[in-house]
Chain A
Amino acid sequence: MKIHLKIWRQKDASTKGKLVDYDLDQVDQNMSFLEMIDTLNKQLILKGDTPVEFDHDCREGICGSCGMMINGQAHGPVPGLTVCQLHMREFAANETIYVEPFRALAFPVKRDLKVDRSSFDRIIQSGGYITANTGQPQEANAQLITHEIAEAAFDSAACIGCGACVATCKNSSAALFTSAKISHLVKLPQGKQEAAKRVLKMVAQMDAEGFGHCSNTEACEAKCPQGISVLNIARMNWEHLKAAIFKD
């Protein structure tokens, strides 16, 4: 099938970008969205043009590298998918498809569809870990964790850090991302010890990076490829309130 593309082209962070039109023939409906851009890039390279740059890695929906706004929605129109898992069969022949990078104050565009999401790394660095001695691993049954708690913690840990929650939020809030890590660790005995310190540091870093307030529109949950629940945000709010009141 044939499609029309309007893709955001931007040389670097300091240059102004714009949407550029491309027509693409012979798009197979079984192609993933990224394979479709690969096809376009091949043609651009053959013509001597600069290919469209975008982030990607595993292409099986688990790494969180790929991410763009497709027709005004984070990761495209299908809920629960990353862009690599989105297929061209979701689009009609001759459809015009708008492709833009994820945008937020804290996600500066590096080039074309590539954005700098290192603000997420800095949030994790600020407290998204547990302090443990290195050396021989502990006996596995030294700390008992029930199946239910392990599952609940894993539901939060499933976040792949793609940034769709920020991109789809009207305030560019990173509440879902930050809260997923906070909830993941606070649910486990290893994470409980540093829970108060962690939440204060991570929330402070989230604010320092320039993410907005959460207004509970729940758009983040709807666009999250991993279906991370907004109740994680409630958990973060609770932990933060508790920590802010009872801190030394």
Chain B
Amino acid sequence: MKINLLTSTLSRKNLMALTGLFLCFFLLIHLLGNLQLLLPAAKASEMFNWYSDLLSTNIFIMMISYVLYFCLIAHAVDALVITLKNKKTAAKYVYDDRKQVSKWYSRNMGILGSLLLIFLVIHFKDFWYVYKFGALPYDRNGHKDLYAIVVNAFKSWWYVLIYVLAMIALGYHLLHGFKSAVRTLGLYHPRYAGYVQVFGIFYSYALSIGFAIIPIYVHLTQFGL
């Protein structure tokens, strides 16, 4: 019997889980790097620009970035395939109260994911694209001054709001996604499944709150707070 990759419902979910967990790992590294933005302005500027330069010129980081782009696209496309197939099999009831027995975010991962995709378009356009292809000023160490772009972007309160809302969506997406990914990959031992579940909750809160604090902090410091 031949099991082709991605023809089984389980294999499709395995791809979701693997790409999702890679994105989880990336988010953690991304957050750790971005925490430099919480340093005092002069120090933050120097460190953050140095760090951005390091990432964009390192060959290993470049290779990993292609894995990242692949994971993002594969995660989204696979989600679309799964959702469309599920729509076909899903039952419809005249009177439906099934929501009582599951969490709202576990049933709406597609919507949360779509919000995150929209956010990513904005995020890539304003930082990734500008850094890669835009004409950026240089700081005194000769690195592209991404810090200035970041500070400038978070001047407007509505831009900060978009980020905070997106991070709330991210938090819920991770809250279900992490746990779901681990189960999909088959962690069935009750004790370790429990530990990983608790870790997933801490991870989701830490990531979403950590990311949300940065734009708020950068915004507030510009008004002398």
Contact = CB atoms under 8 A, between A and B. Distances in A.
A219 B102 contact: yes
Interface in B167-224: 176, 179-180, 183-188, 190, 193
A183 B188 CA distance: 10
B98 interface: yes
Nearest to B104: A217
Interface in A163-202: 167-168, 170-173, 183, 200-201
Contacts of A215: 82, 86, 106-107, 109, 180
B80 to A, nearest CB: 12
- Which of the listed residues B90, B102, B180 has the most CB atoms from chain A within 10 Å of its own CB? B102
A107 B86 CA distance: 15
A19 B93 CA distance: 11
A212 B9 contact: yes
A98 B8 contact: no
Could you say which interface size class chain A belongs to? 35 or more
Contact of A216 (B9, B12, B93, B179): B179
B105 to A, nearest CB: 10
A43 B185 CA distance: 53
Interface stretch (A51-59, A69-77, A82-90, A141-149): A69-77
Contacts of B82: 213, 215
B45 interface: no
A228 interface: no
B100 interface: yes
Nearest to B103: A217
Given A203-B8, A222-B102, A212 B186 contact: no
B188 A234 contact: yes
B125 to A, nearest CB: 30
B90 A171 contact: yes
B183 A237 contact: yes
A193 B1 CA distance: 17
B27 to A, nearest CB: 20
B101 A171 contact: no
B20 to A, nearest CB: 12
B19 interface: no
A114 to B, nearest CB: 16
A232 B91 CA distance: 23
B95 A213 contact: no
A72 B8 contact: no
A33 interface: no
Given A107-B91, A231-B190, A237-B186, 15 more contacts: A8-B94, A72-B98, A73-B101, A105-B91, A168-B101, A203-B9, A211-B89, A215-B86, A216-B179, A217-B102, A217-B103, A219-B101, A234-B186, A234-B187, A237-B185
Interface of A: 6, 8, 19, 69, 71-74, 77, 79, 98, 100, 102-107, 167-168, 170-173, 183, 200-201, 203-204, 206-207, 210-219, 222-223, 230-242, 244, 247
